[in-house]
Amino acid sequence: MPPSLTSFSDDARIALDNLADRASGLINPTVRLGVTGLSRSGKTVFISSLVHNLLHGGRLPLFEPVQSGRVSAVRLEHQPDDAVPRFQYEDHIRSLVKDRVWPDSTRAISELRITLEYQSASAWNRLFSPGRLSIDIVDYPGEWLLDLPLLGKDFRAFSEETIALAGTGIRAELSRDWLALTHATDVNASADEMRARDLATSFADYLKACKVDERSLSTLPPGRFLLPGDLDGSPALTFAPLTPPPEAKPQKGSLWAMMERRYEAYKSVVVKPFFREHFARLDRQIVLVDALQAINRGPEAVQDLERALTDVLACFRPGTNSWLSSLLGRRIDRVLVAATKADHLHHESHDRLDALTRRLVDRAVHRIGMAGAGIDVMALASVRATREATVKRDGHELPVIVGTPMEGETIGAECFDGLKKTAIFPGDLPEDPESLFERIESGDRDVALPDVSVVRFRPPHLEETGGGIKLSVPHIRLDRAMQFLFGDRLA
């Protein structure tokens, strides 16, 4: 985040926090890992599976410290930040393993510390390192991340951009009532609390309509309008974009002046504290995206996902951490963008999902003029809910995935009860994502995108070992994600 987005006092507090973290790290080496994602991408599931596989000796062949046998112990510990809610790992893993239901999605910030005891691969490092690394996992909603660019926008720019976007594609239909109310509003009229509330409610209804699964749009700031929490009804959340007046300076006491003041309060009360107290202290970051859902919803959802990724990646400052950078401003030196739900595809399409997501990320990086160093992309499934099989049809063998659809899921005319397994053909992604994006950019809204499965499956049934201990949660490429995010810190 550019320094201009924070005040001198903010920068000083960030520097003090980073200095305290660095001093603590001399005694107990720590990496702070941010975990976020766009709507329903599986943040809670990712953290729960990562911790479960580390604690229970999961199959992690691509996570070198475990594969080489250098990790001797793994344990959960008390988190360092007493004012931050604990990530309720035990509840979430019980939902996954025992109840076989997906845990509730992230609605606020939470934290969990897991500590690994290990032997360094370097004899030199073994002389100076305690052979212990704590990973502080910071879980926060993706909507909060998408708020950070607001720090660099005044109310006029925010209003112009939001109203212009609301008039495009499917958003034009979803925003009709709000835009009609906005265009009928005299921004120079005296500030009116009831008018402000009506505008804010209508604006929030538009954002919520964009987020539902049938649309799967991703660019939806301000994020607290979707997750208000204890700020619900506060003036900081009772504002909405307005049609900017021609004059540069609004009339004192006008509706525009009130909305502008509340927008700035939102940044001060909501966005800046998150940036200063949490985001600015991160070392590594994973951003989870549901690219398959966007593909199924059509070209507009794909383009909106790319727009959201552009805003997300603009928030990060990839670079190498050092004593000096920690004092002046911590730098997130590794960012992983992970396309989730790879288990909804046959393994032959995993690399294609990789390539498609990488294409989205590369375009976003190019648009913001940012170097791609420190950024990686992969397809994964934090919890593998399906297995692969083949079926014969018309003398040909077809690859299928087998799983238990969630209760109420329908395939064709059949509605599932949550108990019956089924096999489905998952569909194919194109080998060359460039051809897909060329069709999307053609402007033809009727362009046919790949038809891939979006059936919701229950978490897998795990057999118990002779000692009654549950086996580790199955996954796809979770170990590869671990290696990128903190494997180097266990070298």
pLDDT digits (tens, 9 = 90+) for 369-409: 776 668 999 999 999 999 999 888 887 888 899 999 999 99
**Alpha-carbon span 175 to 297, nearest angstrom:** 18
- pLDDT tens for each residue of 107-140: 889 999 999 999 987 766 666 666 999 999 999 9
Residues above pLDDT 90, as percent of the chain: 55
Across the range 227-250, mean pLDDT stands at: 88
**Alpha-carbon span 180 to 176, nearest angstrom:** 6
The closest alpha carbon to 7, from 271, 223, 238, 311, belongs to 271
The closest alpha carbon to 89, from 137, 129, 131, belongs to 137
pLDDT value at 82 more than 80? yes
Q: How far is CA 475 from CA 49, 232, 479, in A?
A: 8, 38, 9
Across the range 318-339, mean pLDDT stands at: 64
Measured in degrees and rounded to the nearest 5, phi and psi for residue 113 equal -110, 130
Across the range 43-66, mean pLDDT stands at: 96
pLDDT at 442: 72
Domains of the chain: 3-140+278-384+476-490 (3.40.50.300), 148-272 (no CATH)
| Whole-structure pTM value | 0.88
**Alpha-carbon span 440 to 447, nearest angstrom:** 7
Across the range 39-44, mean pLDDT stands at: 86
Q: Any alpha helices (H) in 59-192, and if so which ranges?
A: 64-67, 89-94, 123-128, 142-145, 155-166, 169-174, 176-183
Across the range 433-459, mean pLDDT stands at: 78
Measured in degrees and rounded to the nearest 5, phi and psi for residue 42 equal 100, 40
